Structure 1
Amino acid sequence: MNAPLYDTIGLDYANLRRPDPRIAAAIETALGDARKVLNVGAGAGSYEPSDREVTALEPSAEMIAQRPAGAAPCVQGVAEALPFEDDSFDAVMGVMTVHHWTDRAAGFAELRRVSRGTIVLCTFDPLAGVQWVLDYFPEMAELDRQFMPTMEEYVERLGAVEISPLPVPHDCTDGFLYAYWRRPEAYLDPLVRKAISSFWLIERVEEGLERLKADLADGTWKARYGHLLGRDSIDAGYRLVVSRG
């Protein structure tokens, strides 16, 4: 996991990345009847179930500092070396964290080691298709190909898995990269971009922002993508991967 990056972008992250209740419901359903849950790469605590015994693990001190009062206890550490005994948890979960691991083979093995059963991971399929955001920031597509595991890798590492789309609602409250697919003006806001790690990892951000701003002003964006404005949700490539052990 990239703790130094999140030590930088983590400022005010909790306010900009509020869990969306529809995504939270999908995670809760996938966790089933698990009572003792480990949340790996927990950040400020998004999507941690409130009605279960949760332990959080997070590498970034800045993110840990933003966890609200009453949040689950948090241990500073990394997925590749979990400081827990074998079979310590009924289930392990992680939300958009796998692509930050420095050794995915070790991370997956550690998740399986400490879980007595279920592993629930929210991730992104780099082969799911092109979103309009990439037309303005094409470098992000290369980031996805470089860092995001394919769905086949989850099968390779975890065995049989259930993979299902996580639709992104048009009013998604969690400000991840494609959350604003129907609110393009949001990407022009530096506070919005601050909470999206991809914008910190590419070089030609200003160039893309200028083109987006111009296309919104003269109607080009609407002409190209206006068909999206009537949709309530889209499949933007986010996936829920569940291993039952």
Structure 2
Amino acid sequence: MLYDTIGKTYAQTRQSDPRIAAKLLEILKPFQASTIVDIGAGTGSYALYLAEHGYQVLAVEPSTVMRHQAIAHPAVRWIDAKAEHLSLPSHSADVAIIILALHHFPDYSQALQEIHRVTGSGQMVIFTYDPDLISSFWLTEYFPSFIADVQSTFLPITTLTAEMATIKDRAVNIVPFPLPHDLSDSFAAVGWARPELYLKHNIRNGISSFAKLNENELEQGLSNLRKDLETGIWDQKHGYLRQHTFYDVGYRFVFTAQ
């Protein structure tokens, strides 16, 4: 399992970002839910946040390494299961959330069907990435295989919304989420305005796309990025991003309507 290998220090770099968490709360509020099932909960940073805001959370995570890093909370119950085979009763949660985890599910369609079984008439909220936008992200200039990786692992937004609409038999909303420049959840685009972050091993270690790179491309890309930062070439081409507070890299909240 990938995250049993790369996830040993995950809790240090993949902390819940307050802006993402606040947007999640905003989306959840109209649903009047009490029990949330967090699928692919990782080390539980968002599960903990929801618990601290009054929700009962069922945190589903198959990686032992990830679960063992979680901070205990009486309102969070951890479950060792995969998204395609949830060991939960039908209609046992009001809402399901998937935060940057759907692309790790081997069978996304089966996973969504299982989530529908567990939530019944309840909602699905997914935080994901639009793979159509990956080639416009400057990071792919240094690591070009990111393009194929993202396009092969992330569902196109149109495919995802169509699947969700069919399963839940209701409309699906898509809300762009521009990333803050000081993002605290260090996923793949964390350094959109802070390219120096990608030179740090602990940052890269929590990003699955880096784990899948071959050694030659990784070393060459890091060498090129380091050189372009030292010579000012990166700033000549992309330095305007340092002046932005938020930037739409391609992340989206996708959720079923009431």
TM range (shorter): over 0.9
TM-score by length of 1: 0.96
TM-score, normalised relative to structure 2: 0.91
Task: Tell me the equivalent position of 1:10.
Answer: 7
Matching residue within 173, 177, 180 for 2:191: 180
Aligned residue among 185, 206, 209 for 1:198: 209
User: How far does residue 12 in structure 1 lie from its aligned partner after superposition?
Assistant: 1.4
Mapped to 1, the partners of 2:113 and 2:163 lie a distance apart of 8
Q: Deviations over 1:87-143 (max 9, x none)?
A: 111100010111001111101111111113111111000013511111111111111
* 1:100 corresponds to: 104
1:69 to 2:80 alignment: no
2:164 counterpart of 1:158:
yes
Contact 1:169 1:233 in 2 (8 A): yes
Rounded to whole Å, the distance in 2 between the matches of 1:226 and 1:177 is: 19
Compute the displacement of 1:46 (Å): 2.0
CA distance in 1 between partners of 2:154 and 2:237 (Å): 28
Aligned residue pairs total: 242
Q: Which of 138, 152, 167 is matched with 2:178 structurally?
A: 167
Matched residue of 1:73: which SS? strand
- How far the C-alpha of 1:243 sits from its partner, in A, is 1.2
Structure 1 unaligned spans of 5+? none
Aligned to 1:143: 149
Confirm or deny: 8 A CA contact 1:117 1:244 kept in the other structure.
Answer: no
Q: CA RMSD in A?
A: 1.2
Distance 1:45 1:63 in 2: 8
Identity %: 36
Q: Tell me the equivalent position of 1:109.
A: 113
**Are positions 1:219 and 2:218 aligned together?**
no
When you count helix as a share of all residues, which structure comes out higher?
2
1:128 is matched with which residue: 96, 113, 133? 133
Query: Distance between the aligned counterparts of 1:173 and 1:197, measured in 2?
Result: 17
Equivalent pair of 1:14/1:66 in contact (CA under 8 Å): yes
Query: How far did residue 29 of structure 1 move?
Result: 1.2
Secondary structure class of the residue paired with 1:127 = helix
**Aligned runs of 1:225-240 on 2, under 5 Å?**
225-240=238-253
1:60 paired with 2:63, answer yes
Unpaired runs of 5+ residues, structure 2, are 166-170
